Structure 1
Amino acid sequence: MIVTLTPNPSIDRSISVPDLQRGEVNRATDSRIDPGGKGINVSRALRAQGSPTVAVLPSGGPEGHLMEELLTAADVPHAPVPVAGTLRMNVALLEPGGTTTKVNEPGPVLGPDDVEALLATALPLIEGPRGWLVGCGSLPPGAPEDFFAQLVRRGHEAGALVAVDTSGAPLHPAVAAGPDLIKPNLEELEELVGHALPTLGDVRDAARGLVDGGVGTVVVSLGGDGALLVDATTVVHAAAPVLAPLSTVGAGDCLLAGCLDALSRGLSAADVVGAGVRWGSAAVALPGSAVPTPADLAGVQAVLTPDPDLTRTLS
């Protein structure tokens, strides 16, 4: 079982425009609404592939009701925790070629009781020897900066494997708590280590330093340059080119979901990062924050390189 905890979920409205003009009236060619937030997207992707998952999330206000309706319609098992505030609505403006402009609202204020309720709801749901607890996304107002660090410690106490996918200030204490997996993108990894990482070798060295410091596995998503997995014994690069990109919204979350699905089945490190880039690349070829089905994955092949060119400059 893979239990996701999303402290700041959202309703994601994706609007397609042929040519975004700032300060002008833009005519949409298409729009869609999806349940969103990193952990929600991970659970959606897992469910679409038939993997067991439960999404834990705060729920409040009209958007909270809409979120629960959308998750039910998508057949995603979920455990909502009532809160006083209203869930946020995020807007993504999508242009041809995959260029995405996002506007994210801050989310409801969470008090100490709300934080405790979220953790207390998630922990009993973990099942099996390879059960994962996954903390994802930004923190809403009021949530403590060490929220994900608390999740790591309490997840380990409950016997779970713990993954974290967040950014900024909350990532530092989470990493210090020693999660089993983190999935930063290049910008997040650079912020975490405090300097630029222009080459694949620089990324490898930064990830290896985190592993040496107590993180189990680091999977770095590199956009069009694929992904790099680093653990105590392995360095593997994987890529799966996308010929007709439509939207990058949620692609990193699908990459994480693919990695977690492979890890929960005990696959090798190479197969883990290979599955991740296949799921992520398939998502980029879909509109909005849609997640790939098995049919969408059927034609996606990952190229695995266990000895990558570390001098390669990243785009």
Structure 2
Amino acid sequence: MILTVTPNPSLDRTYEVPSLDRGEVVRATGERVDPGGKGVNVSRAVTAAGRRTVAVLPLGGPSGALVSELLDAQGIEVAPVPIAGVTRANIALAETDGVLTKINAPGPELTAAERESLLETVRGQSRGADWIACCGSLPRGLAPSWYAELVARAHAAGVRIALDTSGPALLRALRERPDVVKPNAEELAEAVGRPLATVGDAVKAAEELRELGARSVLASLGADGQLLVDDAGSWFGTARVDAVRSNVGAGDASLAGFLVAGGTGPEALAAAVAHGAAAVRLPGSVMPTPADLDPGAVTVTAQVPTDRVLKEPAT
């Protein structure tokens, strides 16, 4: 079982539009409403892969009730933490050329009691979990050290933990040696305090995160592929994608694929790449099923092309 923790979940509305013109009336050609938040997306992808998951998340107000209802309709077990605030609602505008514009609301502020209730719910639900995936931004009321405390508690309970966050929350949590961290290129550049122009730059940055405490680093490099750096070495994975429809949740699908495949080694990296590539071919934040995957389009190699210039440099 994979337990996911989403401290700042959302109700996500995605509109498909021909193009985005400021100041003009834009008519959508498609619309979706999905439960959102990075950990929620991981749970959705794990369920789509046929594995059991439980989603821990603070929920409040009508939008929180709808998030729970939508997850239940998808067969996902929810362990809600009731809060006085209202769960945020986000908007994504997906253009036909693949450009995505996201408007993310700040979310509610959690009280001290709600903060502790969230930790206790994770503790109670973690019994029997193979992995805990802690994902996304922290809402107001949770200090940057909150993820670090969660990692420490998970390890004390003997559970492996994967962390997908950024900024001070990531740097604080590294001290507790999370089993996997999953930054994208921008988050990786932010963590080491310098731009990344090549795959080699990304490898060096990942190695620095390991020196700071991460046991392994799964880095999403966008259209350039994905990188895994751990005790056994470094691997680079790519996949052929003919057309991108939406990249919403693609990184979350990748993390789910990685964990479902065991969470370690090149085979897990290949699964991560396959899930991410499948996700970008789907509308909105739809998570891929096994039928959507194309393992034959995936290449994983230990011969990391360190001199390759990134198509999307991270600044």
TM-score scaled by structure 2?
Answer: 0.96
Instruction: Name the structure 1 match of 2:279.
Output: 283
C-alpha displacement at 1:163, in angstroms?
1.0
Please show how residues 61-80 of structure 1 align to structure 2 within 5 Å: 61-80=61-80
Whether the 8 Å contact between 1:282 and 1:300 is mirrored in structure 2 is no
SS at match of 1:70: helix
Q: Deviations over 1:61-104 (max 9, x none)?
A: 00011011100111111101100000000000000122100000
SS at match of 1:198: strand
Whether the 8 Å contact between 1:97 and 1:244 is mirrored in structure 2 is no
Q: Distance in 2 between matches of 1:167 and 1:98?
A: 24
TM-score scaled by structure 1?
Answer: 0.96
C-alpha displacement at 1:127, in angstroms?
4.2
Q: Distance in 1 between matches of 2:294 and 2:196?
A: 33
Instruction: Name the structure 1 match of 2:51.
Output: 51
Q: Deviations over 1:188-224 (max 9, x none)?
A: 0000000011111111111112223321110100011
Instruction: Name the structure 2 match of 1:170.
Output: 169
After the TM superposition, list the runs of 4 or more consecutive aligned residues in structure 1 that deviate by more than 4 angstroms.
none
Instruction: Name the structure 2 match of 1:110.
Output: 110
Q: Distance in 2 between matches of 1:138 and 1:241?
A: 30
Q: Distance in 1 between matches of 2:285 and 2:304?
A: 30
C-alpha displacement at 1:241, in angstroms?
2.0
Aligned sequence identity (%): 50
Higher strand fraction: Structure 1 or Structure 2?
A: 2
**Is residue 2:297 matched to residue 1:301?**
yes
Whether the 8 Å contact between 2:274 and 2:294 is mirrored in structure 1 is no
C-alpha displacement at 1:170, in angstroms?
1.4
Whether the 8 Å contact between 1:224 and 1:241 is mirrored in structure 2 is no
**Unmatched runs of 5 consecutive residues or more in structure 2:** none
Instruction: Name the structure 1 match of 2:159.
Output: 160
Whether the 8 Å contact between 1:4 and 1:40 is mirrored in structure 2 is yes
Q: Distance in 1 between matches of 2:28 and 2:150?
A: 40
Q: Supply the AA of the counterpart residue of 2:286.
A: A
Q: Distance in 2 between matches of 1:143 and 1:246?
A: 34
Q: Distance in 2 between matches of 1:96 and 1:178?
A: 41
Q: Distance in 1 between matches of 2:174 and 2:23?
A: 41
